[in-house]
């Protein structure tokens, strides 16, 4: 395993299970939303508004504190020929290798698990909301009900018992696949090659490259159009990569403030 891909080791786990994750193959998603329901049922995530959005069959709208799996529906003209092309994709937390939410959390409530995933410890989170602004995917949200931040845990409780996450278990087409990330990445690359071979030239992997702006995702996707069409950022970069420079500039600004005070006061001595 590439060292950069082992966030659990970087977090201090010496003897840990392989990094686990999702591969969501949207080419076989049928938009049944079983993943959304299974997630809510298993994790006791509250209902969050039964409204019609007008966005095709998507009445969930986005990921939030109370939605940890979200199925997107995109209606578009078929790329070749007449008719409708209907894209469906189940979105989820990316469990980034370089996770901005975890980096900026001031209480340590967000933590890396031995599986390399990122979870919120609800008994520690004080609802500061910093993670919400830091996530480049708009995944994590703060609950209006309990004031805390919540997101997908990759069913941490199930993983500990050797079970697969509820959404993957419920998916009837194996659009949501769960397993060791290395195996999933190989499977994903094979699937893209197969799709390209049968003429699905738009098939592309998302979040599978460890050299990307988040060090690779723990939840990768096979998409049939550009990421932004699904509401995903095309080239996300973890904000903390620029943090050393930000601290240096802030130190320079602080120094200039001292200099201004010295000038203002020294000039007054004469």
Partner 1 sequence: MPEADFRSYYGRPVVKETVWGPDIPTYLFLGGLAGASSTLAAGAHLTGRPELARALKCGAAGAISLSMVALVHDLGRRTRFVNMLRVLKVTSPMSIGTWILSGYTPLALAAAAFAVTRKLPRAGLAATITAGLFGPAVASYTAVLLGDTAAPAWHEAHRELPFLFAGSAATAAGGLGMLAVRPGQAGQAIRFAVLGAAGEIAAKSLLLQRLGAAAEPYQTGRAGQLMDISEVLTSTGLAIAVLAGRSRVGAPLAGLTLMAASALTRFGVFEAGRASARDPKYTVVPQRDRLRDVRPES
Binding residue for partner 1, selected from 44, 84, 197, 253, defined by CB under 8 A: 253
Cα separation values, 251 from 124, 247, 258, Å: 31, 6, 11
In order, the DSSP letters of 1-18 are: --GGG-HHHHTT-SS-PP
Distance of alpha carbon 206 from alpha carbon 137, whole angstroms: 12
With b for 16 or more beta-carbon neighbours within 10 A and e for fewer, the 142-170 pattern comes to bbeeeebbbbbbbbbebbeeeebbbbbbb
**In sequence order, what are the residues at sequence separation of 6 or more whose Cβ sits closer than 8 angstroms to the Cβ of residue 177?**
22, 23, 24, 25, 168, 184, 187
The C-alpha atoms of residue 154 and residue 164 are separated, in whole angstroms, by 9
Q: Is 257 in the site for partner 1 (CB under 8 A)?
A: yes
- Determine which residue in the list 15, 44, 52, 269 makes contact with partner 1, applying CB under 8 A: 269
Single out the residue of 17, 18, 129, 210 in contact with partner 1 (rule: CB under 8 A): 129
Q: Does 116 bind partner 1 (CB under 8 A)?
A: no
What is the longest distance spanned by two Cα atoms in the chain? 84
The rounded distance, in Å, linking the Cα atoms of 244 and 51 is 44
By beta-carbon proximity to partner 1, the closer residue of 210 and 233 is 233
When the beta carbons of 69 and 158 are compared against partner 1, the nearer one is: 69
d(CA 159, CA 138): 25
SS3 40: helix
Binding mask 201-240 for partner 1 (x = CB under 8 A): -------------------------x-xxxxxxxxx--xx
Site string for partner 1, 169-208 (x = CB under 8 A): ----------------------------------------
User: Does the protein bind partner 1 through residue 133 (CB under 8 A)?
Assistant: yes
* Helix/strand/coil for 158: helix
Q: Which of 5, 35, 134, 170 binds partner 1 (CB under 8 A)?
A: 134
CB 19 within 8 A of CB 180: yes
Contacting residue, 136, 165, 216, 218, with partner 1 by CB under 8 A: 136
Here's the x/- map for partner 1, 146-165, by CB under 8 A: it reads as xxxx----------------
Query: Bridge partners of 86?
Result: 75
* Residue 35 vs 109, nearer CB to partner 1: 109
Which member of 30, 78, 193, 249 binds partner 1 (CB under 8 A)?
Answer: 249
Query: Based on CB atoms, which residue is closest to partner 1, 110 or 170?
Result: 110
Site membership for partner 1, residue 51 (CB under 8 A):
no
Counting Cα atoms < 13 Å in the Cβ hemisphere of 82 gives: 0
Segment lying near partner 1 (by CB under 8 A), choices 137-145, 152-160, 182-190, 193-201: 137-145
The smaller minimum CB distance to partner 1, of residues 193 and 250, is found at 250
Cβ 102 to partner 1, closest distance in Å?
8
CB of 152: closest distance to partner 1 in angstroms?
A: 15
């Amino acid at each position: 395993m590439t060292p950069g891909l082992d966030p659990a080791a970087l977090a201090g786990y010496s003897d840990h299970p392989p990094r686990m994750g999702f591969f969501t193959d949207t080419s076989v998603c049928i938009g049944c939303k079983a993943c959304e329901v299974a997630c809510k049922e298993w994790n006791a995530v509250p209902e969050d508004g039964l409204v019609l959005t007008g966005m095709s069959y998507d009445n969930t709208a986005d990921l939030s504190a109370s939605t940890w799996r979200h199925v997107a529906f995109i209606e578009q003209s078929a790329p070749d020929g007449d008719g409708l092309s209907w894209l469906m994709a189940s979105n989820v937390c990316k469990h980034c290798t370089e996770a901005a939410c975890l980096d900026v959390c001031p209480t340590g409530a967000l933590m890396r698990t031995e599986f390399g995933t990122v979870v919120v410890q609800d008994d520690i989170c004080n609802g500061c909301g910093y993670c919400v602004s830091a996530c480049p995917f708009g995944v994590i949200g703060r609950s209006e009900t309990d004031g805390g931040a919540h997101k997908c845990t990759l069913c941490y409780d199930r993983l500990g018992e050797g079970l697969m996450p509820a959404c993957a278990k419920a998916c009837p087409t194996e659009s949501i696949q769960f397993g060791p990330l290395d195996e999933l990445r190989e499977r994903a690359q094979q699937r893209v090659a197969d799709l390209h071979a049968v003429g699905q030239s738009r098939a592309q992997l998302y979040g599978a490259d460890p050299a990307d702006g988040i060090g690779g995702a723990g939840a990768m996707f096979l998409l049939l159009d550009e990421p932004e069409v699904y509401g995903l950022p095309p080239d996300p970069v973890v904000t903390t990569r620029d943090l050393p420079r930000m601290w240096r500039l802030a130190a320079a600004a602080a120094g200039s403030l001292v200099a201004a005070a010295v000038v203002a006061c020294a000039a007054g001595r004469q």
